[in-house]
Structure 1
Amino acid sequence: MEAPVSITVAKIKLELSKTTLEANCKPIVRVIIECRIYQGDALSPLLFCIGPKPLSKIITKSWYGYWLWNEAAISHLLYMEDIKLYARIGTNFLVYITFSTQSWARERFQLWINDQRSYHVVYPYKYHFILDQLEKCGQHNPFLVLIVPVAPHHMEARAAIRKTWGNDSLVQKGVVLVLFLLGLPSGKHSEALQAHVHQENMHHRDLLQSNFIDSYRNLTIKTMVMLEWLTEHCPHAHYAVKVDADILLNIKGLMKMLRSPYVLQNNYITGQVWYNNIVIRDPANKFYIPFSVYPHFVYPPYPLGMCYIMSMDLPKKILQVSKEIKPIFIEDAYIGLCLERLHIAPVNPPNPAQFVVSPPSWYSRCYYANLIAVVTDNPDELVYYWKDITKYGSLC
């Protein structure tokens, strides 16, 4: 057993011991509270035993605290990265502990820091575009503008879209405009990645890039920046679509739907609508939102972020009302909050079965050819399905 390492943070002494408990438990971190930091409250000592064994309950309780074996059970352990372990002591005191983690732990734990600031989004803010396509809408006067939010390093996803539905004949004729929206890369290879993004844009002229860090927690920023760009540069298009990079999209089917008599031209937003979606209160859950950030038990109806379509009057209206609503990081739920304030209800498409977030495990050409939007597992699958449903021959 290695010698304990003691660190003092505020009035808390943390004793870290790296050892092994049987074969199932890797590092043990013992947090010893030696003083009172809340009026009248003595804080309990805690022990976190972080192991890969899939037990979802507390298995041991002793004088020094708890052993927790599964991320679902770890209410005090919040986030692990290369050299830091963040822990909640009591109800509102956050400390971090520095130590070396095993590689399996870095890969396994993807929990979030339990800090209110992590659940708010820095918006409104004056973001600006590093890469822009100022003349695209003016040149093509598109009926439909498709924006694909995508991470800078997902080059294969962008390439797959360009060679499939992003190269549809309606796109080639200018009836439909397809653009990719990126934030800034981060990490040690960010400069090289940014240089690659610039080269890619020089070749394709289809990238929008704004100066926020591209991350999961900034998806709401990405969506709001998208609405800003649409409002400023494409006000004369009829509809806008936000579509994820893993979606196989049938543009001709989508255009047929939008030109049907059942689709409105104003105050209209559609997609796979979620109703009565419960707000997650488990800190270990990736979608956790504290009461202090959003006090209600369910979200208002909202279109699932995989693919939603809105009439072009809505981007400006959503931006205006968003100034009154504190953003949360769950971007599609936040769109629902804005729609609720506008008294505009999202509606399911004429045929909701054409928008599929969980497709069957088997592939059927007949089934996929009749969909409008469906999630795929990877770019190769997207390309394979597209080639199959667009090749000559009977679909069913």
Structure 2
Amino acid sequence: MSRHSVLKRRECKLHYCCSSCASSRQMSCKKWLLVCLLVPGTALLLYLSLTKGEAAQRYPLQKQQITDTPIEEEPGLYHVAYPREYKFIIDQPKICEEQKPFIVVMVPVPPGDTDARNSIRMTWGREKVVEDKVVVVLFIMGLNSENDEGTLQERLRNESRQYNDLLQSNFLDSYRNLTIKTMVMMEWLSTNCQQASFAMKVDADVLLNMNNLINMLVSLNPVPTNYMTGLVWYASPVIRNPFNKFFLPHDVYPKDTFPPYPLGMCYIISLDLPQKFIQESKHIRPIYIEDAYLGMCLERLGIVPTKPPNMEQFVVALTQYNRCYYSGLIAILTASTNQMSSFWADIHLTNSPC
């Protein structure tokens, strides 16, 4: 339910309660008003808690986050060990040196999700030069947890030979290991891609408009340092509900709110930050919520993420599709890679989307 819908319901219920007061003396108008104010007011508070808390941690409007039973507190469930001993088994170590990109876009994706990778290769990932700026798109993954590991690895090696865009490290690829995947990504960027001006992390189901992205980054000339931007969330509450997917106990993270951080769906960093993240991670206990963890690293570095020039170009909640509106965005979280592909194709159907 949107905030507008919540407020509209509140207005309608107040109107109804005044009508009831006039027509009936069984309950006083004050009691009606109290009920009418408390119920929608509570709904509004719950809504705000959802949007600022849970959405900030993994966009719950897209996915169900509440479970019927409390999440079991297994050892290490919320604290993610990061031993810094992982190695790349599929790599592109010379790609930045050879192509000298303006921006390298990193897409975390499970090893078995070939469809997502192909969807991006056929849409926004096919744009290699935008406004005279070279763009490199790479897919980063860990090891598959299924039994067909040997067969899948052979397919991945063939895919890598065909496209030269896969990065695979030897950690187990899972939701709980997203922070490990993020830090391994930072290791690769720090070691292999100092030639670029910017790096970007983007989820596979995000619709990306390369032209708008490059235009935004070019406007930042000269290239900034200590720069991280995206859809920035401030004072995002730490979820203490044990039935919630993003529950964190106090002994893992004692503060009530997280430091500012851009949502993990899509963020952009200057290339001086990966090494700084790696250094600070030695002093901060990692948590499994990877975007919030980067916010914790930024806080220790004394860096506040920067709002983009136009925050409205980064969108989490899906709205009714409109070609003109969508063509003006930089990144929007879609319901699926199929929907992302469909939107991209329609936007590029004509040179004049509006």
* TM-score of the aligned structures, taking structure 1 as reference length: 0.70
Report the CA distance between 1:205 and its aligned residue.
1.1
1:153 maps to what in 2? 112
Query: Which of 307, 310, 316 is the aligned partner of 2:266?
Result: 307
Amino acid at match of 2:285: K
Partner-residue secondary structure (3-state), 1:146: strand
Query: Relative CO higher for 1 or 2, CA cutoff 8 Å, sep ≥ 6?
Result: 2
Instruction: Check the 8 A contact 1:354/1:372 in 2, yes or no.
Output: yes
Distance 1:391 1:111 in 2: 48
Go from structure 1 to structure 2 and tell me whether the alpha carbon gap of 1:157 and 1:263 turns closer, same or farther (over 3 Å shift).
Answer: farther
Which residue is 1:230 aligned to?
A: 189
CA distance in 2, matches of 1:394, 1:171: 18
Paired position in structure 1 for 2:232? 273
Instruction: Name the counterpart of 2:347.
Output: 389
Q: Check whether the contact 2:131–2:214 (CA below 8 A) recurs between aligned residues.
A: no
- 1:197: how far off? 1.7
Task: Note the C-alpha offset of 1:314.
Answer: 0.6
Q: What is residue 37 of structure 1 aligned with on the other side?
A: none
CA contact under 8 A between 2:86 and 2:170: conserved in structure 1?
yes
How far is 1:196 from its partner? 2.0
**Residue identity in the other structure for 1:120:** H
Structure 2 counterpart of 1:366, from 311, 324, 327: 324
Q: 1:387 to 1:239 in 2, by over 3 A?
A: same
1:114/1:283 contact within 8 Å kept: no
The correspondence for 2:198, drawn from 239, 247, 250, is 239
- Displacement of 1:124 after TM fit? 3.4
Alignment equivalent of 1:119, drawn from 78, 99, 103:
78
Q: What's the secondary structure of 1:177's corresponding residue?
A: strand
Q: Which has the higher helix share?
A: 2
C-alpha displacement at 1:393, in angstroms?
4.1
Q: Which amino acid aligns with 1:380?
A: N
Name the counterpart of 1:46: none
- Residues 263 and 216 (structure 1 numbering): CA distance in 2 closer, same or farther, change over 3 Å? farther
**Gap regions ≥5 residues in structure 2:** 1-66
CA contact (8 A) 1:116 1:293 kept: no
The Cα of 1:301 is off from its aligned counterpart by: 0.5
Distance 1:171 1:132 in 2: 25
| Structure-1 residue corresponding to 2:334 | 376
Other-structure match for 2:179 = 220
What SS does the corresponding residue of 1:252 show, helix, strand or coil? helix
AA paired with 2:323? R
Please state if 1:251 is matched with 2:210.
yes
Mapped to 1, the partners of 2:69 and 2:125 lie a distance apart of: 33
Q: Distance in 2 between matches of 1:144 and 1:393?
A: 24
SS of the equivalent of 1:118 reads: coil
Which of these residues, 91, 94, 97, is aligned with residue 132 of structure 1? 91
Superposed displacement of residue 191, structure 1 = 2.8
* Residue type of the alignment partner of 2:96: C
Deviations, residues 149-206 of structure 1 (Å, cap 9, x unaligned):
0011211110000001100141797711100001100122333222222221121110
Q: Tell me the secondary structure at the aligned position of residue 247 of structure 2.
A: coil
Q: Give the Cα–Cα distance (whole angstroms) in 2 for the partners of residues 122 and 275 of structure 1.
A: 26
Percent sequence identity is: 51
User: Aligned partners of 1:206 and 1:169: how far apart in 2?
Assistant: 12
Local SS of the residue matching 2:300: helix
Q: Distance in 1 between matches of 2:220 and 2:264?
A: 25
Tell me the C-alpha RMSD between the 2 structures: 1.8
Select 1:204's aligned residue among 140, 148, 163.
Answer: 163
Inter-partner Cα distance in structure 2 for 1:307 and 1:175? 19
Counterpart for residue 139 of structure 2: 180
Q: CA 1:388–1:129 in 2, change beyond 3 Å: closer, same or farther?
A: same
Secondary structure, counterpart of 1:277 in structure 2: coil
Larger relative strand fraction: 1
Larger radius of gyration: 1
Alignment-mate amino acid for residue 226 of structure 2: N
Instruction: Give SS of 1:336's match.
Output: helix
Shift of 1:220: 0.2
CA contact (8 A) 2:130 2:211 kept: no
Measure how far apart 1:120 and its partner are.
1.1
Match of 1:329 among 284, 288, 291: 288
In structure 1, give the amino acid aligned to 2:196: A
Letter in structure 2 aligned against 1:146: V
Report the residue type matching 1:223 in the other structure.
T
Contact 1:262 1:350 in 2 (8 A): no
Judging changes above 3 Å, is the alpha-carbon distance between structure 1 residues 110 and 198 closer, same or farther for their aligned structure 2 residues?
Answer: farther
Local SS of the residue matching 2:129: helix
Aligned to 2:253: 294
1:359 is displaced (CA, Å) by 1.9
| Pair 110,239 (structure 1): closer, same or farther in 2 beyond 3 Å | farther
Q: State the match for 2:26 in structure 1.
A: none
Verify: 1:282 aligned to 2:241, yes or no: yes
**Structure 1 residue ranges (4+ consecutive) displaced by more than 3 angstroms after TM superposition:** 108-112, 171-174, 261-264
Distance 2:132 2:159 in 1: 22
